[in-house]
Structure 1
Amino acid sequence: MKKTILGIALAISSLTFAQQKAKASASPVSFGVKAGLNVSSINADDAKAKAGFYGGVFANIPVATSFSVQPEVLYSGMGAKNKDYSSVKLNLDYISVPVMLQYNVLPELYLEAGPQFSFAISKKIKGDGGSVDVDNYYKGFDFGVGIGAGYYIAQGFGVTARFVAGATDIVENNSGDAIRNNVFQVGVAYKF
């Protein structure tokens, strides 16, 4: 819970800094919302991808002619399905705080890369018999590195795609190979 509160405080302070930066400079800081589909998995032998949802807010802060920093606060549903029993799912829900450095290839097209800090808000295994909390088996923090692209079609509306590769082991006291989250996101965004 402390990590979740810390993550939310970090995100709010980033957005507050963005507003102060907007007042201090001539560069326009823009805010927006985004949402879409997560296709996530973990790198375990018995896991396969499952679909989920992501959504949240962002601030886009220009730092140079073609570069900007975009901190975000997102709800992100991740996890995996069991290969042998597709009704059994690992549901890992996070508040994610990506901080992406964006390069504008064209005024409408950008490429991005950066770190993502995620704080677990729910960890469950769900099957035909219901769901079970697995808080003691999975860590409350996850770190990943994202790369992606986006294209703004018209009047603030855009499409986005991003892959986030997990860099930390998500299993508590794991004595085997590291288990990491991996997620591919595709969605829409709107800048105000």
Structure 2
Amino acid sequence: MKKSLLLIAIALFGFTTMQAQEYVMFGAKGGVNFSTFSGDGVNAFNDPDGRTSFHLGLIAEIPLSERFSIQPEVLYSGQGYDIADRNNANDIEYQLDYINVPVIAKVYLTEGLALEAGPQVGFLVNSEIDGNPSSTNDEFSVSLDEEQFNTVDFSVALGASYKFRGGFFVNGRYNIGLTDIYDDSFRNNIFSGADAKHSVIQAGIGFMF
């Protein structure tokens, strides 16, 4: 199932870019995520602290005019929140990781500086509680039943970027979740009715070529 979702994401990325191959610029990006849950049901999670993780993936920019471009992306994104923040020890993290496919509209205000906005669809590829997130040791990891989650997540991305001459760029973005994280139809879902959605701040760098 996860491989199928990844293939769908890659296909969407390829279909968008092939429409303007002679103009499109390709690139890669990565950076840090600061994620938590938001919504009316957030108290069900005792006002969770943010999880610090990462995003990494491929992008393409398709110029449609001098000041307007479409930028599809395929990103691996670590999301969720911190269950506990322990001094002098590893945090306990509630980890929900996605393959995200944003399609971003970019409006250039000046040369290099652009505002960004667009829809994003995400496919859940990992769900676990990790008591030792800074280690590769799985001894403290507990896998979660993916059936309790909505495995497809929709959100809106808002942000800005600055591209330097030569292709290097920096960007910041806020992803506002639109889809409930939990599936209320799951029989044993203790969070049934909790209106919890993703809230993710991203800061990244990348290179276009």
TM-score, length of structure 1 as denominator length = 0.88
Unaligned runs of 5+ in 1: none
Q: What secondary structure sits across from 2:10 in the alignment? A: helix
Q: What secondary structure sits across from 1:12 in the alignment? A: helix
Distance 1:17 1:143 in 2: 19
| Aligned residue number for residue 139 of structure 1 | 150
Matches within 5 A, 1:24-39: 28-39=23-34
- Which deviates more, 128-137 or 42-51? 128-137
| Aligned residue number for residue 64 of structure 2 | 63
Q: Aligned-residue CA RMSD in angstroms? A: 2.0
Q: What secondary structure sits across from 2:125 in the alignment? A: strand
Distance 1:161 1:54 in 2: 12
Q: What secondary structure sits across from 1:8 in the alignment? A: helix
| Aligned residue number for residue 200 of structure 2 | 183
Matches within 5 A, 1:130-169: 130-134=140-144, 135-169=146-180
Distance 1:54 1:84 in 2: 22
Q: Residues 100 and 190 from structure 1, CA distance in 2 versus in 1: closer, same or farther, beyond 3 angstroms?
A: same
Is the contact between residue 123 and residue 138 of structure 1 (CA under 8 Å) also seen in structure 2? no
Is the contact between residue 95 and residue 130 of structure 2 (CA under 8 Å) also seen in structure 1? yes
Unaligned runs of 5+ in 2: 133-138, 185-190
Is the contact between residue 150 and residue 158 of structure 1 (CA under 8 Å) also seen in structure 2? yes
Please list the CA deviations of residues 117-152 of structure 1 after superposition, one character each: whole Å capped at 9, or x if unmatched. 000110111226712221232221111001000001
Is the contact between residue 7 and residue 97 of structure 1 (CA under 8 Å) also seen in structure 2? no
Q: CA deviation at 1:11?
A: 3.3
State the one-letter code of the partner of 1:191: M
State the one-letter code of the partner of 2:11: I
Is the contact between residue 182 and residue 192 of structure 2 (CA under 8 Å) also seen in structure 1? no
Distance 2:107 2:115 in 1: 5
Is the contact between residue 117 and residue 156 of structure 2 (CA under 8 Å) also seen in structure 1? yes
Q: What secondary structure sits across from 1:154 in the alignment? A: coil
Q: CA deviation at 1:10?
A: 4.2
Matched, 1:122 2:126: yes
Q: Residues 101 and 48 from structure 1, CA distance in 2 versus in 1: closer, same or farther, beyond 3 angstroms?
A: same
More strand by share: 1
Q: What secondary structure sits across from 1:147 in the alignment? A: strand
| Aligned residue number for residue 181 of structure 2 | 170
Equivalenced residue count is: 187
State the one-letter code of the partner of 1:145: V
Q: Percent identity?
A: 36
Q: CA deviation at 1:9?
A: 2.5
Distance 1:59 1:122 in 2: 25
4+ residue runs over 6 A deviation: none
Please list the CA deviations of residues 94-127 of structure 1 after superposition, one character each: whole Å capped at 9, or x if unmatched. 1000000110111200001001100011011122
State the one-letter code of the partner of 2:163: Y
Is the contact between residue 11 and residue 71 of structure 1 (CA under 8 Å) also seen in structure 2? no
